[in-house]
Amino acid sequence: MNELNPLKKSYNQTKYQLAGHGKRDMRVLKEVFENVDGQLESDMYGKGQLIEDFQVKMAAVLGKETAVFFPSGTMAQQIALRIWCDEKGLRKVAYHPLSHLEIHEEDGLKELHQIKTVLLADKSLVIELDDVVQMEEGIACVLLELPQREIGGQLPSFETLEQISEYCRDKNIKLHLDGARLLEVLPYYQKSAAEVCALFDSVYLSFYKGIGGIAGAILAGGQDFIAASKVWKRRYGGDLISLYPYIISADYYFDQRSHKMGQYFEEAKELAELFNSCHGVSTLPLKPVSNMFHVHFHKTKEQMESILTEVQKATGIGFTSYLADIDENTCYVEVSLGDQYAEIPKEEVTKAFQLLDEKMKQ
């Protein structure tokens, strides 16, 4: 593949990269396990100190009664929605048109659970109170994703969250948080994870976004909800004999990075400004509200691949290894700030953006 894709090849040869924590290679695991005691016992089918301690720790972080570790968020969230549907005796949930469940899971929710979905809000906007108030009757659960990843990581106001939460409680509709990137939005909201989660009946958090672990997710909620989720985890084949490669790395990188979300947020705003200062480039949102944003380039994908390849080769700064089409004249890339941005000398960043700006004007 690399031979055929000059953009990716040039990115892989850069000295520095603007986004992320670094390559997803074996070092991510090796670093974690070098200092783990060889005699530490594996978890066993969801039991054992290793998994139980981490679940207790994450339940406390999220302010929920209890929590369970899952191999994936896809599994955790489908199960959460199924449990709330069963409790209400209604097989219908509502979420954003670009929810992970709607576009990245091969319709698992519908195929495995016959759950119908109602799409709230225009796909270019976040869900507002009105979208929830105006939705049809018979909804067991509303899922909110914070931030809304597929539109650059946008957020409703915290007041809107409070109002949606209050409305759902009044109407006896369950509210589930797709918090894959929950920690990443806390600096903007100026709230603790527990303060945000208090608005929701159940919460999912991912360990390989801002945290930068290998894989895995936590699902948190009340005792009965989590007990039911463990039964479904077994049904899905998610109750592996050993999940420790993911748990131990999740714990390690959580401790290393959960307190750095404020830094990533500030850097995201700085980096977005740099992109917006270039001719024919704009970010969505214009001013980030988390560590992520999308960059829209107002040229064709082919033109931009050529330009970014040149800039990467000339400056040693990695902008991206891929681009995706928006339409005939626009392409984009998703940027999520991690550990790498802070390692780049500021003057080299500045130079790289100057060169990008020049090439965009040509």
Residues binding a second copy (CB under 8 A): 23-30, 33, 36-42, 44, 70-76, 78, 105-108, 111-113, 208, 214-215, 231-232, 234-246
What phi and psi, each to the nearest 5 degrees, are found at residue 229?
-65, -30
Looking at beta carbons only, is 72 or 320 nearer to a second copy?
Answer: 72
Smallest distance from a second copy to CB 251, Å:
13
Six-digit token string for 98: 């670009």
Smallest distance from a second copy to CB 145, Å:
16
Smallest distance from a second copy to CB 42, Å:
4
Looking at beta carbons only, is 107 or 162 nearer to a second copy?
Answer: 107
Smallest distance from a second copy to CB 217, Å:
9
Distance, in Å, from the CA atom of 301 to the CA atom of 307, rounded to the nearest integer, reads 10
Q: What is the dihedral of CA 257, 259, 263, 269, to 10 degrees?
A: 90
Beta-carbon contacts of 327 under 8 Å, excluding residues fewer than 6 positions away, are: none
Looking at beta carbons only, is 23 or 169 nearer to a second copy?
Answer: 23
Beta-carbon contacts of 129 under 8 Å, excluding residues fewer than 6 positions away, are: 160, 163, 164, 167
Distance, in Å, from the CA atom of 145 to the CA atom of 123, rounded to the nearest integer, reads 13
Distance, in Å, from the CA atom of 198 to the CA atom of 69, rounded to the nearest integer, reads 20
The answer to whether the beta carbons of residues 291 and 271 sit under 8 Å apart is no
Looking at beta carbons only, is 24 or 287 nearer to a second copy?
Answer: 24
Six-digit token string for 143: 């899922």
Which residue spans within 180-314 are E strands per DSSP? Answer: 202-206, 217-221, 281-284, 292-297
Looking at beta carbons only, is 44 or 326 nearer to a second copy?
Answer: 44
Smallest distance from a second copy to CB 21, Å:
13
Looking at beta carbons only, is 1 or 346 nearer to a second copy?
Answer: 1
Looking at beta carbons only, is 73 or 152 nearer to a second copy?
Answer: 73
Smallest distance from a second copy to CB 244, Å:
7
Looking at beta carbons only, is 90 or 240 nearer to a second copy?
Answer: 240
Six-digit token string for 261: 């979300």
Residue in this structure with the two tokens 């895995």, named with its chain if needed: 216
Looking at beta carbons only, is 75 or 173 nearer to a second copy?
Answer: 75
Looking at beta carbons only, is 41 or 255 nearer to a second copy?
Answer: 41
Distance, in Å, from the CA atom of 24 to the CA atom of 30, rounded to the nearest integer, reads 12
Q: What is the dihedral of CA 175, 176, 181, 182, to 10 degrees?
A: 50
Peptide bond into 147 cis (omega under 30): yes
Smallest distance from a second copy to CB 131, Å:
27
Smallest distance from a second copy to CB 82, Å:
9
Continuous H helices in 48-181? 49-62, 73-88, 100-103, 108-113, 129-133, 158-170
3-class state of residue 274 by DSSP? helix
Smallest distance from a second copy to CB 322, Å:
12
Six-digit token string for 8: 């990716």
Residue in this structure with the two tokens 């929950």, named with its chain if needed: 182
Smallest distance from a second copy to CB 353, Å:
28
